[in-house]
Structure 1
């Protein structure tokens, strides 16, 4: 009976390639491409390093030398495929900048494998302390983009100067992560403007009475 594992989805495994601690660019790219394919085909949970090795033709031992865990491999795959470079909108309006950023963030709902990968990475970060540090660093890069947008808003007087910036960033990302993980409501780019407007109501400068 055919196996349902990720390895079985590769009918014609590539010839096995071995490598050392210095990554071959071609082999590195093949591993990431194989991981992306298998993520889309079978999801985070069913994906295995053995499956990636079979699909890419790169030895399992080599993959483990290059990445400490499946989660780290998937994170690099996600970054390479989806978010090679973070765009920092700068339109002169904090509302427009945040709406552009959040609309792009919510687009993940159009790609089920990306949603699955992010949920898997979040889960892995709860149980693997070493990966948790990597994951927090990755999240921190995205938080820094939003913090930069908010700081520019403060400089223009659109946002109160005394807000708790870390908490404000939490407010911006809260709907994304809560809806991604709990799945109680949709993530849709058309909702971005309304979500941003509600957040900014609480961050606006207080008018003097």
Structure 2
């Protein structure tokens, strides 16, 4: 039979883990209800019943807390696809990305995070770290395509990642065109066609009077 001390440690650890998850869920809900600017650690503590001192012990700043909560939600909402081809994988990813348009509160929250990252240098670090994680997901999808021989080994994957996310951010922030999951296949085909097209070689020398110039 396990001793009382072991049961107490296990119970305490479970309560701590539960509280940790409650804070992350509470922050996510506050972000999508109120926006980043309205969140305070005091408000998080009041909403979740977790002491402010405990929250500060787990996260060094509001930005770190919010981006951990948001990053966890995105990983749950957008599992990494593995459908057997780079086109299928990337199309599934982009379609999921564009489906944010079905959730106005999520769109507003993400716009707010981007805006905050432009004016708060400390938060910008947490935001860029999250963006880097999402970029790595797409880089890995493209690298699988390279490994399977679907894309050339010298493909510029870094630029391709920017091309994948570019329409999403541009349409999300400017609002000049809709984000529609139905557009994902065409957008992906355009990106992949560019990756597969070999850049032109040097222009041939002009020959005049039998001499190359």
Alignment TM-score > 0.5, same fold: yes
Question: What is the DSSP-based 3-state SS (H/G/I as helix, E as strand, rest coil) of the residue aligned with 1:24?
Answer: helix
User: Which ranges in structure 2 are unaligned for 5 or more consecutive residues?
Assistant: 1-14, 201-213
Partner of 2:12: none
Assess if the C-alpha contact under 8 Å between 1:172 and 1:199 holds in 2. yes
Partner of 1:120: 112
The root-mean-square deviation of aligned C-alpha atoms, in Å, is: 2.6
Report which of the two has the higher share of helix.
2
Mapped to 2, the partners of 1:201 and 1:75 lie a distance apart of 34
Q: 1:31 to 1:88 in 2, by over 3 A?
A: closer
Mapped to 1, the partners of 2:187 and 2:44 lie a distance apart of 39
Residues 126-177 of structure 1: per-residue CA shift (max 9 Å, x gap)? 3344433332222222212211222232344433333322111111111111
User: Within the alignment, does 1:58 sit opposite 2:56 as a pair?
Assistant: no
Assess if the C-alpha contact under 8 Å between 2:63 and 2:126 holds in 1. no
Partner of 2:124: 132
Assess if the C-alpha contact under 8 Å between 2:156 and 2:195 holds in 1. no
Assess if the C-alpha contact under 8 Å between 1:179 and 1:185 holds in 2. yes
Aligned residues: 186
Mapped to 1, the partners of 2:127 and 2:65 lie a distance apart of 12
Partner of 1:72: 64
TM-score of the superposition, structure 2-length normalised?
0.74
Mapped to 1, the partners of 2:126 and 2:33 lie a distance apart of 25
Partner of 1:146: 138
Question: What is the DSSP-based 3-state SS (H/G/I as helix, E as strand, rest coil) of the residue aligned with 1:116?
Answer: helix
Deviation at 1:198, TM superposition (A): 1.6
Where do 1:189-208 residues align within 5 Å? 189-206=181-198
Q: 1:56 to 1:88 in 2, by over 3 A?
A: closer
Deviation at 1:85, TM superposition (A): 8.3
Q: 1:71 to 1:120 in 2, by over 3 A?
A: farther
Assess if the C-alpha contact under 8 Å between 2:155 and 2:196 holds in 1. no
Determine which structure has more spread, i.e. the larger CA radius of gyration.
Answer: 2
Deviation at 1:35, TM superposition (A): 1.8
Mapped to 2, the partners of 1:157 and 1:42 lie a distance apart of 46
TM-score of the superposition, structure 1-length normalised?
0.75
Q: Any runs of at least 4 consecutive aligned residues in structure 1 with deviations exceeding 6 A, and if so which?
A: none
